[in-house]
Amino acid sequence: MSVTAQSVWDNCLSFIKDNIQPQAYKTWFEPIKPVKLTNKALSIQVPSKFFYEWLEEHYVKLLKVALVKELGNTARLVYIIKMENTYGNKKPFTEKIPSANRSNVKAQEIDVPIKNKSPELKNPFIIPGIRNVKIESQLNPNYNFDNFLEGDSNRLARSAGMAVANKPGGTSFNPLLIFGGVGLGKTHIAHAIGVEIKDKYPEKTVLYISAEKFTQQYIESVKKNTRNDFIHFYQLIDVLIIDDVQFFSGKSGTQDVFFHIFNHLHQNGKQVILTSDKAPVDMQDIEQRLLSRFKWGLSAELQTPDFETRVSIVKNKLYRDGVEMPDDIVEYVAKNIKSNVRELEGAIISLIAQSSFNKKEVTIELAKQVVEKFVKNTKREVSIDYIQKVVSDYFQMDVSTLQSKTRKRHIVQARQLAMFFAKKFTKASLASIGSQIGKRDHATVLHACKTVDNLSSTDKQFRKYVEDLTKKLSL
């Protein structure tokens, strides 16, 4: 029987399969393709550099044992990384890894500490006049990995975050982009990474900042003619964490300056961590060149936690607060509040508060009341797509008709209503709303909002439309 790459790999796989968890096997080994076998060197193709690093980090021993078993002591493993090349050429990049001496590979790490050479550096965090070049990290120590509970919904993001914290700038997760809906833990993880890095590498300059604050600082710097100082300041950071980058959408000046800062940091092996409420493909009004940078590293999604994870989050919170609560009540709350963790915590807090104010036992009855109020009061996030769908359905037209260029009055009105509700019910900017509703500009959206306001105070029929749609959209 002839020995082929496939046969060697198949044997390795059956050995590996017996030695690890089925889920891990499925995630990390099934996607691998054996490519060729030459002189005891087996080439395997992995989907990304992330994958390769993960294998090296977690499964190198196992791989080695399996391979030596098949090919003897001189066995070697060659990874072929099938990846989107960061510099635009599509050649797969390959790396030879002698299995006996893997530590060579780790030489890819770049870690160039930049010394603060400019004494009169303008730090946008510092009130002018107070001399202080030390950069405060703005981290919240209460958000750490210890109290960020792991579950299927966050495993990838959490472990990628920890990998980055272990070797900031030294993994291929650069940038690391954590995305997911509201209240799912993006800000928590972002801080946790920073806190962990500060703990492991106290000498590194870590900075956490919201995209909103970054934008304000930038605008301020333009006003004061200190744009260069602003850029210079950010280029000195070792680990830059920017929360909620969707806020950059439609803000081309800020995007431009961030692009330059990002490139500088990335080229110097500095770590960038970003969070966003959307995946890069769904981000609106973010320049292509920035989006492509976001895709250089790893995008990890935070999903809504499953029931078990919700229960353990609640229990952990109660434990930390020193509060006892019967299991059936914890489970009742966790079962009924599913959409996000912030709401879950909110419901538990109000339950504790209610029971202590009224000196009542925490009972299932009380839990029901609280949960009911909670679920009703928390507005569901509506998307612009959903708004367009509801408005088109209401006027019995297709979404494409609503978006079309026609000037027919009833279609124009439907479109204006969609814009009006998008402004009212989402956080999207006028420019972003315009581009999503038939590729219009921000002035058109502004005009639409004014028109709807006017018409609903002068035209009875039109007011009815607004009321009906408001009801439908707030259900």
Residues that bind Mg ion (CB under 5 A): 186-187
Percentages (nearest 5) of helix, strand, coil residues in the chain: 55, 10, 35
Binding of ligand ADP by 137 (CB under 6 A): no
* Distance (Å, whole) CA 208 – CA 201: 16
Residue 212 or 282: the one with the smaller Cβ distance to Mg ion is 212
Between 188 and 204, CB nearer to ligand ADP: 188
Among the residue ranges 69-77, 84-92, 181-189, 440-448, the one whose residues contact ligand ADP (CB under 6 A): 181-189
Q: Which is nearer to ligand ADP, 303 or 404 (CB)?
A: 303
- Binding site partner of 205, from Mg ion, ligand ADP, none, Cβ cut-off 5-8 A by kind: none
Q: Does 49 bind ligand ADP (CB under 6 A)?
A: no
Indicate which of Mg ion, ligand ADP, none lies near residue 232 (CB less than 5 to 8 Å, by partner kind). none
Q: Closest approach of Cβ 14 to ligand ADP, in Å?
A: 35
Q: Which one, 70 or 244, has the nearer CB to Mg ion?
A: 244
Figure out which of the listed residues 8, 41, 241, 313 binds ligand ADP, where binding follows CB under 6 A.
313
Say whether residue 192 binds ligand ADP (CB under 6 A).
Answer: no
Two structure tokens written together for 69: 């078993």
- DSSP states of 24-54 as a string? HHHHHTTT-EEEEEETTEEEEEES-HHHHHH
d(CA 111, CA 118): 20
Among 124, 185, 250, 434, binds ligand ADP (CB under 6 A): 185
Nearer to Mg ion, 221 or 275 (CB): 275
Binding pattern for the stretch 152-171 against ligand ADP, x by CB under 6 A and - elsewhere = --x-----------------
When the beta carbons of 184 and 449 are compared against ligand ADP, the nearer one is 184
Is there a cis peptide before residue 326, judged by omega within 30 degrees of 0?
A: no
> Is 345 near ligand ADP (CB under 6 A)?
yes
Give the nearest residue (CB) to ligand ADP.
Answer: 185
Residue 184, contacted partner among ligand ADP, Mg ion, none, CB below 5-8 A by kind: ligand ADP
Q: Which does 351 bind (CB under 5 to 8 A by kind): ligand ADP, Mg ion, none?
A: none
Q: How far is the CB of 196 from ligand ADP (least distance, A)?
A: 15
**What does the CA dihedral 239, 243, 247, 248 come to, rounded to 10 degrees?**
10
Q: Do residues 362 and 326 make contact, with C-beta atoms less than 8 angstroms apart?
A: yes
What's the min distance (Å) between Cβ of 57 and ligand ADP? Answer: 22
Q: Does residue 342 interact with ligand ADP by CB under 6 A?
A: yes
Tokens of 174: 């650069």
Could you tell me the two tokens for 349? 């807090």
278 sits near ligand ADP (criterion: CB under 6 A): no
Minimum CB distance to Mg ion, residue 244 (Å): 6
Report if residue 182 touches ligand ADP, rule: CB under 6 A: yes
Query: From CA 474, how far away is CA 472, in angstroms rounded?
Result: 6
Distance CA 455, CA 468 (A): 15
| Spatial strand order in the sheet of 239-243 | 206-210, 239-243, 271-276, 176-180, 298-302
Q: Please say whether the beta carbons of 87 and 42 come within 8 A.
A: no
Phi, psi of 138 (to 5 degrees): 60, 25
User: Got the DSSP string for 238-296?
Assistant: SEEEEE-GGGGTT-HHHHHHHHHHHHHHHHTT-EEEEEESS-GGG--S--HHHHHHHTT
381 binds, among ligand ADP, Mg ion, none (CB under 5 to 8 A by kind): none
Please classify residue 303 by burial: count the beta carbons closer than 10 Å to its beta carbon, then call 0-12 exposed, 13-18 middle and 19+ buried. Answer: middle
**What does 149 bind: ligand ADP, Mg ion, none (CB cut-off 5 to 8 Å by kind)?**
ligand ADP
Question: Residue 94 pairs with which residues in a beta bridge?
Answer: 80
Residue least distant from Mg ion (Cβ): 187
Residues pairing with 95 in the sheet: 79
Handedness of CA 341, 342, 344, 345 (dihedral sign): positive
Q: Nearest-CA neighbor of 124 among 4, 248, 243, 229? A: 229
Q: How far is the CB of 147 from ligand ADP (least distance, A)?
A: 6
Q: Are 168 and 238 in contact (CB under 8 A)?
A: yes
CB 185 → Mg ion: shortest distance, Å? 8
Options 210-218, 338-346, 376-384, 405-413: segment touching ligand ADP (CB under 6 A): 338-346
Pick the binder of ligand ADP from 43, 99, 187, 221 (CB under 6 A).
187
124 makes contact with ligand ADP (CB under 6 A): no
290 binds, among Mg ion, ligand ADP, none (CB under 5 to 8 A by kind): none
Instruction: Residue 188: name its binding partner from Mg ion, ligand ADP, none (Cβ under 5 to 8 Å by kind).
Output: ligand ADP
Alpha-carbon gap, residue 107 to 96, rounded angstroms: 13
Q: Minimal CA–CA distance to 191: which of 260, 244, 150? A: 244
Asked if 63 interacts with ligand ADP (CB under 6 A), we say no
List interacting residues with ligand ADP (CB under 6 A).
147-149, 154, 180, 182-188, 313, 341-342, 345
